């Protein structure tokens, strides 16, 4: 009698939703503290740690539901699925924040970045700065597909590492 293998999509969706909701809560927390304009190193580290933990827990839960067995390919599929679902939720939150909750978000973020950019490149003129700002606003929509791709890459890397750690093959007999 053959055991029925659990559906990976269930784990992708469940853990992706959990990570997405936690990411939105983290984003709201940053918004209430006025820390959402800059992406500082601690914020990035916490975001990546949340992703790593959610992926590890999701892959581990799948392994347990699968009788303790896991292939690296299954770990990869689940990890990328979790990253994809959570990123879609996070990007929807970001879209709502930037376009509805705080429509002048981009202007404030650019204004906060100006002193640092000018200090790093003292030969930059005001005209060059304005041209860069105009280009950034024009291409602002690219943040969504780039964020999605970047998140899937993180999911792949974490999936490989998690798969290598948790891998256990079924016996051949």
**Amino acid 3: pLDDT:** 63
**Amino acid 1: pLDDT:** 42
Rounded CA gap, 82 and 124, in Å?
42
Rounded CA gap, 60 and 75, in Å?
9
Residues 8-67: tens digit of each pLDDT: 999 999 999 999 999 999 999 999 999 988 788 999 999 999 999 999 999 999 999 999
Render 102-132 in DSSP notation, one character per residue. -TTHHHHHHHHHHHHHHHH-TT--HHHHHHH
Rounded CA gap, 153 and 84, in Å?
10
Instruction: Quickly count helices (H) and strands (E) in the chain.
Output: 6, 0
Residues 110-149: tens digit of each pLDDT: 888 888 888 888 888 889 889 988 998 888 899 999 999 9
Q: Provide CB contacts within 8 A for 21, sequence distance 6+.
A: 89
């Amino acid at each position: 009698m053959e055991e029925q293998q659990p559906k990976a999509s269930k784990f992708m969706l469940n853990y992706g939703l959990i990570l997405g909701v936690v990411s939105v809560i983290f984003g709201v927390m940053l918004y209430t503290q006025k820390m959402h304009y800059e992406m500082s190193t601690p914020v990035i580290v916490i975001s990546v740690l949340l992703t790593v933990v959610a992926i590890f827990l999701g892959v581990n839960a799948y392994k347990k539901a699968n009788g303790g067995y896991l292939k690296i390919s299954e770990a990869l599929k689940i990890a990328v699925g979790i990253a994809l679902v959570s990123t879609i939720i996070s990007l929807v939150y970001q879209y709502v924040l930037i376009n509805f909750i705080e429509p002048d978000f981009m202007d404030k973020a650019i204004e906060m970045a100006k002193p640092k950019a000018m200090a790093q490149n003292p030969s930059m003129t005001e005209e060059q700065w304005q041209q860069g700002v105009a280009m950034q606003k024009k291409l602002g929509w690219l943040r969504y597909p780039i964020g999605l791709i970047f998140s899937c890459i993180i999911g792949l890397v974490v999936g490989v590492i998690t798969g290598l750690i948790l891998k256990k093959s079924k016996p051949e007999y």
